[in-house]
Amino acid sequence: MFKLLAILALLLTSNIQASDSKTVDTIQKPMYEPLIERYILDELKEVRMDNQRIRSDVEKRIAKAEVTQTDRAARYITDTVGNIFYIIAGATSFLIFAGWNSLRDIRQKTEEIIEVRVEQITKKYNEELELLQQRLTDQSKKILANQNRIYNTQLSHSLWMRANLETNLQSKIEVYDEILKVNNDDAEAYAYKADAVLDLDEYEWALNLSNKAIEIDADYGYAYWQRACANAKLDNRSDAIMDLKTALHKNPNLRDDIVNEPSFDRIKDSKEFKEAIA
């Protein structure tokens, strides 16, 4: 560019010298202005072209960096996936060497372990449930038994009150029978029934009832008293005296009632009777 300007300046100088002085004198506007404008335009063009080259280089570098990053990410993913497969392959090989031949065997073994464990847990809970059920059954039986006992006690109490209010001997005996239906082992009911039967002159029946009461409760003095009355009526004096002694031994409070008992009128004057109540 500088060479071109020098040549142009040299040519201009020679042309000026060759022209006459008149022509030179008549020149009023510089002749090198178009050259300057051309120079400026060329410089602007060079600057624009340099910018385009720089932009192109930058875009190429960015694209190259992006491609490098993409390749690096893809390589990282590939290496990671490869490592995972290597780990899986290693684990599978280890399982094979350990005796697990396939995933089917692993599933089968797992199912067997789960079945055994579930069976053990089920058996344990079944045993606990059976034990709990047995406890609940026993508790229910106890509750029912207590309820029945309470009901029978209340019923017996009401029947005893009814028996004490009865004046008819036959009705009183029927009430005692109802008491014995509630509790067949009630020695007191047998003894009082024997007392009522004696008033009906059923001495053998009274003797059997007294024996039943003594069989249930051998320490019940009133039962011996009733048997003594029955034996006295049946003229079994020795048995009557023996039962009197036993009755007084079991319950000394019966002495006054025995003295006033009309069933002993036949034996009251005997020595044995007096000794028994002395």
The predicted-structure confidence for 130-185, as pLDDT tens digits, reads as follows 888 888 888 888 888 888 888 878 888 888 888 888 888 888 889 888 888 888 88
What is the Cα–Cα distance from 164 to 178, expressed in whole angstroms?
14
pLDDT at residue 101, as a whole number: 56
Radius of gyration of the chain from Cα atoms?
68
pLDDT band at 108 (very low <50, low <70, confident <90, very high): confident
**Most distant CA pair in the chain, distance:** 209
Contact criterion met (CB below 8 Å) for 211 and 227 = yes
Q: Distance between CA atoms of 209 and 225, rounded to whole angstroms?
A: 12
pTM of the model as a whole = 0.50
Are residues 254 and 248 in contact, defined by beta-carbon separation less than 8 angstroms? yes
Please name the residues in contact with 8: beta carbons below 8 A apart, sequence gap of 6 or more: 32, 35
* pLDDT at 68 > cutoff 60: yes
- Quote the CA–CA distance of 126 and 118 in Å, as a whole number: 12
pLDDT higher than 80, residue 38: no
Q: Which fold has domain 166-277?
A: 1.25.40
Q: Residue 53: pLDDT above 70?
A: yes
Helix (H) / strand (E) element for 9: namely helix 2-18
Mean per-residue pLDDT, 29-46 = 68
Q: How far apart are CA 101 and CA 94, in angstroms?
A: 10
What are the structure tokens assigned to 34, written together?
Answer: 């178009």
For residues 56-78, give the mean pLDDT: 75
Measured between alpha carbons, how far is 160 from 174 in angstroms, rounded to an integer?
11
Q: What is the mean pLDDT of residues 88-114?
A: 69
How many H helices and E strands in the chain?
11, 0
Query: Which residues does 198 contact at the CB level (< 8 Å), separation at least 6?
Result: 206, 226, 229, 230, 233, 263
Alpha carbon 83 to its chain's center: 46
pLDDT of residue 20: 45
Angle 245-249-254 from CA coordinates, rounded to 5° = 85
Q: What is the pLDDT of residue 83?
A: 73
pLDDT(40) > 60:
yes
The residue ranking higher by pLDDT, 239 or 79, is 239
CB 253 within 8 A of CB 259: no
- The full set of domain ranges for the chain reads 2-87, 101-149, 166-277
pLDDT per residue as tens digits for the range 11-32: 555 555 544 444 445 545 555 5
Q: What is the pLDDT of residue 14?
A: 52
- pLDDT confidence band for 126 (50 / 70 / 90): confident
Identify the pLDDT of residue 47. Answer: 77
pLDDT at position 243 is 86
226: CB partners within 8 A, 6+ apart = 191, 194, 195, 198, 206, 209, 210, 213
Average pLDDT for the chain = 77
Q: Which residue has the higher pLDDT, 93 or 154?
A: 154
Closest CA to 208 of 222, 198, 218: 198
Give pLDDT tens digits for 74-84.
776 777 777 77
| 3-state SS assignment for residue 220 | coil
Kindly report the CA angle at 88 between 82 and 93, in degrees rounded to 5? 125
Nearest Cα neighbor of 217 from 226, 177, 154 is 226
